[in-house]
Amino acid sequence: MADEKDREEIVVAEFHKKIKEAFEVFDHESTNTVDVREIGTIIRSLGCCPSEGELHDLIAEIEEEEPTGYIRFEKFLPVMTEILLERRYRPIPEDVLLRAFEVLDTAKRGFLTKDELIKYMSEEGEPFSQEEMEEMLSAAIDPESNSVNYKDYISMMVTDEN
Amino acid sequence: MGCNTSSTRIENSQTSLRAVLIIQNWYRGYRARLKARKQYALTIFQSIEYADEQDQIQLCNFFSFMLENYTRIRKEEIGLNQLAENELDMRDKQDYVDLIDVPDSYKGPRLQFPLTCADIDLLLEAFKRKQILHARYVLEVLFETKKLLKQMPNFTQVQTSPSKEVTVCGDLHGKLDDLFLIFYKNGLPSGSNPYVFNGDFVDRGRNSIEVLMILCVSFLVYPNDLHLNRGNHEDYMMNLRYGFTKEILHKYKIHGKKILQTLEEFYTWLPIGTIIDNEILVVHGGISETTDLNLLHRVERNKMKSVLMPPREIYKDYNTDSKHSKVDVTISAHGRIKTKGFLSEHLPKHEREQVIDILWSDPRGKKGCFPNTGRGGGCYFGPDITSKILNKFQLKMIIRSHECKPEGYEICHGGKVVTIFSASNYYEEDSNRGAYVKLCSGTNPRFFQYQVTDATCFHPFHQRVSTMENSAIKILKERMISRKTDLIRAFLYQDRRKSGKLPVSKWAFCMETILGLNLPWRSLSSNLVIIDQNGNVDYMSSFRNIHIEKPVKEANSALVETLCRYRSDLEIIFNAIDTDHSGLISMEEFRAMWKLFSYHYNVHIDDSQVNKIASIMDLNRDGSIDFTEFLKAFYVVHKYETMMKPEATNLG
């Protein structure tokens, strides 16, 4: 019984250190605060994948009562620790991602055209900003065919991450 | 092809919506992780840069130690003239420069004194065509600029008006393309378009001399509208390590040495700072809690040859009596370089410290004033210090440079401190933007950003991040191998059972303590070591896939590691000793230098080892050592790179 509690304490301590490291990298002035616009990046760099809506709710939880544009570490730490302990916002497995592309590829060609991709990503769901759309296009679209072979694209991204 | 019922259509659109959400969610996660990786790479570059600066200060301790103990060897033999303060007067321009002929075969730009804006255009065009300015003109420009700078006060006063905004630029570090881009976007300097260049014009980039020449020529044409502040790299000691010295010697094989000598004194006449509209202080680094502008207005700035070379007593005779009072150089508890003993040819200690603070300090969020342990000089100053000093001298804002910022600029301390950095892609392709700021009294400062791009800008983001990341990880691994013995000792101490594995937290602790770098070790661990399924680190795995290219078998591994670790320092020392810049030093010089080096750095290499090294290095048995060739053998190489083409030469 005591062993288990010790182990959990060690796990929590490690989480704390990991969260602190990720936070500090974005704490440019060493004030234990980061710009609220970087919070999404920090949470995602720790391996979680909240949706934009979920992220919005999280920020509301950790912001000051009177939002300052900055998030303090003291508020971020407990919330983030909880997220890691509960294994919330797990990342999308590769096969699910592939199936998602296949769903959009109604004609089952093995690719999506640039226009189709733009339409889906920037008009539906939680639409991309122009910057996000441009970045995805620059990496995904093959300029000769003006389309994305999504299977290759996924493999490339997965390799890059590992 | 039947027709869809409305419920099927709704179901399809719901499935499609889910699919879109999945892809968007995944992409955002991926993109965020790319941004984080980029930020980690930048953090690595930055901490190593500052750690190197700290090394530089340690090296200067060694120089003064060496100066004192080199009594057995005649001063001339090892050319300590270059290291000691320049007792000999600079020969007048007429004695030297006029003797240099510019041959008819020279196709580069020819300047006509007194200079006009036509010469600025001439120079810009020539440098765009990658021509090199003849040494004669370089020297003439430096002499003329120095002559004019001598008449300037320590702080230049600038006034703006609605029709005459002033543009402040930060570090350029020899990046000519950035200077071109600034002039393209913002116009050339002129009577109606004044500029302040806030130091660090040279070192690191490939075109330091070209940048310096453009700035000096512009200054000579518009002395009231082109303002130069001294940076911590306008210092001949820094140039030895960070590339400018090498660049000069490479581009100017005959007159390079003379140019370097001229620069030593030239730098000292650069003003310490600029004050705009009596309310904005523009200095390269920052301030400290003791900054006294009234004092700084009065110091004899030209007595500050090198921020890093402490003043020493000049010995009239070189006897071996070491009871002579030594110049004691230590880094005190406050991180300042303390010296005892000074000459009237040098600034008093407290004045030196004031100037060092101006050139080396960094703002931080934490209140108070602390020694700048990252760089080893100057301090970290908090928002309370900024308020205090600004109030004391009736100023409103500090504009400074000195630190690379991803966006090219950064505002902190509640808007009272602005950092402006003008060298884009400073660490690596796409590492950061450059910026400049335009000021006019009564209006808010306006910031302008830019980034030099070339064909590689078409690489997608993830590829640029990968490049940066690989570069950063590589230099980090080089650090690790240069501290291999200490690291392994620390790992073994933590690993009681000698299992070869450690939990990540203990590994991270060792890395941080031994390397002295404050980095996100846990996040970086997967790039540096092999981690098993239980999350334990195989700590020796870092050392397995990197090795030293041509290990000298006869030398033991401790020696090899030492050479690796002190490679930069050794190179600098060698360059300083090699007065004719032939690339060779004598065996005697080498032995003497090595002995002192190992004594000072507390590295235990005995005489027989030194002799062995010396004889190994003298491969053609002619009594002289091509040290740089030998040092190259100790560059760390990654196994998989032996198949790839060699990296472009880094002048830094």
Backbone angles phi, psi at B212, to 5 degrees: -60, -40
The catalytic residue among B134, B173, B233, B413 is B233
Looking at the DSSP bridge assignments, the partners of residue B448 are B436
Q: Which helix (H) or strand (E) holds B237?
A: helix B236-242
**Chain A residue nearest residue B467, CA to CA:** A160
**B333 has a pLDDT exceeding 50:** no
Q: Which residue has the higher pLDDT, B53 or B32?
A: B32
If you average pLDDT over residues B138-153, what whole number do you get?
A: 95
The pLDDT of residue B311 is 44
Output the six-digit token pair for B89: 């007067």
**B575 has a pLDDT exceeding 80:** no
Q: Which residue has the higher pLDDT, B313 or B23?
A: B23
How far is residue B608 from each of residues B80, B113, B563, B617, B630, measured CA to CA in Å? 26, 59, 16, 14, 18
The pLDDT of residue B547 is 61
**Which residues lie closer than 8 Å to B459 by C-beta, 6 or more apart?**
B467
Lowest model confidence (mean pLDDT) among A61-70, B104-113, B131-140, B312-321? B312-321
CA A15 to CA A77: how far, in whole Å?
Answer: 9
Q: Which helix (H) or strand (E) holds B351?
A: helix B349-360
**Chain A residue nearest residue B403, CA to CA:** A28
Residues of B in contact with A33 (CB under 8 A): 365
If you average pLDDT over residues B372-391, what whole number do you get?
A: 91
Which of B15, B30, B384 to mutate against chain A (most A CBs within 10 Å)?
A: B30
Residue B20 to residue A124, Cβ atoms within 8 A: yes
Residue B28 to residue A40, Cβ atoms within 8 A: yes
Strand order of the sheet with strand B446-450? B226-228, B195-197, B166-169, B434-439, B446-450
SS (H, E, C) B118-155: HHHHHHHHHHHCCCCCCHHHHHHHHHHHHHHHCCCCCE
Q: What is the pLDDT of residues B611-648, one digit of tens each?
A: 766 666 665 567 676 666 556 555 544 433 333 334 33
**Chain B residue nearest residue A116, CA to CA:** B20
Looking at the DSSP bridge assignments, the partners of residue A33 are A72
Contact B232, B200 (CB under 8 A): yes
Backbone angles phi, psi at B291, to 5 degrees: -55, 125
Confidence of residue B275 (pLDDT cuts 50, 70, 90): very high
Q: Which helix (H) or strand (E) holds B169?
A: strand B166-169
First CA to last CA across chain B, in angstroms?
Answer: 68
If you average pLDDT over residues B456-475, what whole number do you get?
A: 81
CA distance A102 to chain B (A): 9
CA of residue B279 relative to chain centroid, distance: 30
The pLDDT of residue A28 is 81
Confidence of residue B440 (pLDDT cuts 50, 70, 90): very high
- B→A interface, C-beta within 8 Å: 15-33, 35-36, 39-40, 43, 363-366, 410, 412, 460-463, 466, 504-505, 508, 520-523
| Bond before B114 cis per omega within 30 degrees | yes
A85 to chain B, any CB pair closer than 8 A? The answer is no
If you average pLDDT over residues B45-62, what whole number do you get?
A: 71
If you average pLDDT over residues B184-204, what whole number do you get?
A: 96
CA distance A30 to chain B (A): 5
Confidence of residue B217 (pLDDT cuts 50, 70, 90): very high
Confidence of residue B124 (pLDDT cuts 50, 70, 90): very high
CA B353 to CA B332: how far, in whole Å?
Answer: 12
Nearest to A138 among B19, B27, B461 (CB): B461
If you average pLDDT over residues B185-196, what whole number do you get?
A: 96
Lowest model confidence (mean pLDDT) among B96-110, B197-211, B357-371, B583-597? B583-597
The pLDDT of residue B423 is 96
Please report, rounded to a whole number, the percentage of residues in chain B having pLDDT higher than 70: 71
Nearest to A96 among B22, B36, B462 (CB): B22
Q: Which residue has the higher pLDDT, B338 or B251?
A: B251
**Which residues lie closer than 8 Å to B104 by C-beta, 6 or more apart?**
none
If you average pLDDT over residues B490-512, what whole number do you get?
A: 91
CA distance B61 to chain A (A): 30
Residue A49 to residue B462, Cβ atoms within 8 A: no
Residue A22 to residue B520, Cβ atoms within 8 A: yes
Q: What angle do CA B205, B207, B210 make, to 5 degrees?
A: 145
**B398 has a pLDDT exceeding 70:** yes
The pLDDT of residue B543 is 82
Residue A30 to residue B366, Cβ atoms within 8 A: yes
Residue A138 to residue B40, Cβ atoms within 8 A: no
The pLDDT of residue B627 is 63
A72 to chain B, any CB pair closer than 8 A? The answer is no
CA B561 to CA B557: how far, in whole Å?
Answer: 6
CA B482 to CA B636: how far, in whole Å?
Answer: 9
CA B312 to CA B310: how far, in whole Å?
Answer: 6
Q: What angle do CA A126, A127, A129 make, to 5 degrees?
A: 130
Contact B321, B369 (CB under 8 A): no
SS (H, E, C) B439-471: ECCCCCCEEEEECCCCHHHHCCHHHHHHHHHHH
**Chain A residue nearest residue B505, CA to CA:** A14
A119 to chain B, any CB pair closer than 8 A? The answer is no
CA B604 to CA A19: how far, in whole Å?
Answer: 42
Looking at the DSSP bridge assignments, the partners of residue A19 are none
CA B159 to CA B277: how far, in whole Å?
Answer: 5
**B182 has a pLDDT exceeding 80:** yes
Nearest to A41 among B22, B25, B32 (CB): B32
CA of residue A14 relative to chain centroid, distance: 21
Contact B362, B286 (CB under 8 A): yes
Lowest model confidence (mean pLDDT) among A51-65, B73-87, B418-432, B553-567? B73-87
DSSP structure class, residue A142: B
Looking at the DSSP bridge assignments, the partners of residue B638 are B546
CA distance B232 to chain A (A): 21
Residue A44 to residue B32, Cβ atoms within 8 A: yes
Residues of B in contact with A99 (CB under 8 A): 19
Residue A49 to residue B29, Cβ atoms within 8 A: yes
Lowest model confidence (mean pLDDT) among B98-107, B170-179, B512-521? B98-107
Nearest to B523 among A22, A33, A52 (CB): A22
CA distance A151 to chain B (A): 13
Residues of B in contact with A100 (CB under 8 A): 18-20, 22-23
Confidence of residue B315 (pLDDT cuts 50, 70, 90): very low
Amino acid symbol at B86:
N
**Which residues lie closer than 8 Å to B495 by C-beta, 6 or more apart?**
B501, B502, B506, B539
Whole-complex ipTM: 0.93
Residues of A in contact with B457 (CB under 8 A): none
Residues of A in contact with B363 (CB under 8 A): 29
CA B238 to CA B241: how far, in whole Å?
Answer: 5
Output the six-digit token pair for B99: 């003797």
Contact B632, B578 (CB under 8 A): no
Backbone angles phi, psi at B564, to 5 degrees: -65, -50
How far is residue B480 from each of residues A147, B472, B476, B483, B512, measured CA to CA in Å? 44, 13, 6, 5, 11
Mean per-residue pLDDT over chain B, rounded: 79
- Give the A:B interface size as CB pairs under 8 Å: 128
Query: Which residue is it, tokens 């490339």?
Result: A156
Q: B65: alpha, beta or left, given left = phi > 0 and alpha = psi -120 to 50?
A: alpha
CA B502 to CA A75: how far, in whole Å?
Answer: 31
CA B590 to CA B584: how far, in whole Å?
Answer: 10
Lowest model confidence (mean pLDDT) among B309-318, B580-589, B606-615? B309-318
**Chain B residue nearest residue A106, CA to CA:** B16
Backbone angles phi, psi at B456, to 5 degrees: -70, -10
Residues of B in contact with A103 (CB under 8 A): 15-16, 18-19
Q: What domains can be seen in chain B, in order of their start residue?
A: 100-312+348-450 (3.60.21.10), 479-543 (1.10.238), 557-643 (1.10.238.10)
**Which residues lie closer than 8 Å to B317 by C-beta, 6 or more apart?**
none
A133 to chain B, any CB pair closer than 8 A? The answer is no
A11 to chain B, any CB pair closer than 8 A? The answer is no
Which of A72, A92, A132 to mutate against chain B (most B CBs within 10 Å)?
A: A92
Q: One digit per residue, pLDDT tens: chain A, 162 residues? A: 567 888 888 889 889 999 999 999 898 877 899 999 999 999 999 989 999 999 999 999 999 888 888 999 999 999 999 999 999 999 889 899 999 999 999 899 999 999 999 999 999 999 999 989 998 998 888 888 899 999 999 988 888 776
CA distance B461 to chain A (A): 7
**B313 has a pLDDT exceeding 60:** no
DSSP B51-79: HHHHHHHHHHHHHHHHHHHTTSS-TTTTT
Q: Known catalytic residue: B346?
A: no
Residue A31 to residue B365, Cβ atoms within 8 A: yes
Which of B15, B27, B407 to mutate against chain A (most A CBs within 10 Å)?
A: B27
The pLDDT of residue B361 is 95
